[in-house]
Amino acid sequence: MSLNVDSAVVAFTFKGGMLPMTVMELSSADPEQIRQQLAGKFSQSPAFFQHTPVVLSVEKLDEPHLALERICAVCRDHKLLPVAVRGGTEPVRQSSWALGLGWFPPVAEGRARGLESVSNSPVQEVSREEAVSEAEAPTLATRLYRGTVRSGQQVSASDGDLVVIGAVNAGAEVLAAGSIHVYGALRGRALAGIHGNIQAGIYCRELEAELLSVAGNYKRSEDIDAQLLGRPAEVHFTKEQLEIKPLG
């Protein structure tokens, strides 16, 4: 009897990937305190909370018996989708698995930071050497998108830069392996250098973004200087942080 498996009947394959993932770093284990703060954030940026997957970081907490199930319920009540927990003691890890969540070791063990890249293996961090190497590689393709990127829509350029001739509405998302150029208002989420390219940048004619990210380093709308809002701006990763400045 032949033991060969016909490739036509293979149901799936495992592939490593680099996916943008927001970390919710908890400094309180009180579900009600978390609920109150989430309610305030939701009122400020409701589009950010449209089924956004998050990793719950509990590294700052000293809670061996964390009310993880209640915290996850609070997140879901505000349209956030917990997918994994980072850090914590053995009971936290067991609770994560029991709730159907993934578990990642803490940053102290050298696993990740900022916007996480979640694949079929533990959280992976692109090393500085790998990022520079990728940054020096030639851009393979530039994608040109004409029109408005509407709420709930995602436009990506997996091999190079993304150029949007139009606006990016709140609740929309644009991603690129290279830089992102928006010839209009940027009101949604923009993630450049999604494979770790720290030389990537974000450029727009009107900055009103919900979230900006370059190579996994990000800022939300409330972290942006109000004097830059509504103006042409550019975003780069400089001196280990995102720098946002007027364009021109």
CA distance linking residue 75 with residue 39, whole number of Å: 10
- pLDDT, tens digit (0-9, with 9 covering 90-100), for 30-53: 999 999 999 888 877 676 677 788
What's 20-125's CATH class? alpha beta
Does domain 130-246 sit in CATH 2.60.40.10? no
More confident residue, 147 or 126: 147
Q: Check residue 246 and give its pLDDT.
A: 93
Q: What is the residue extent of each domain of the chain?
A: 20-125, 130-246
Instruction: For residue 163, count other CB atoms closer than 10 A to its CB.
Output: 18
Average pLDDT over residues 195-211: 93
In this structure, the number of other CB atoms found within 10 A of the CB of residue 28 comes to 13
Check whether 186 has a pLDDT greater than 80: yes
- The structure tokens listed for 65 are 């018996």
**Are both 20-125 and 130-246 of the same fold?**
no
14-27: per-residue pLDDT in tens? 765 556 677 888 99
Confidence of residue 216 (pLDDT cuts 50, 70, 90): confident
Average pLDDT, the chain: 80
Pick from 54-68, 108-122, 135-149, 229-243: least confident: 108-122
SS (H, E, C) 95-132: HHHHCCCEEECCHHHCCCCCCEECCCCCCECCCHHHHH
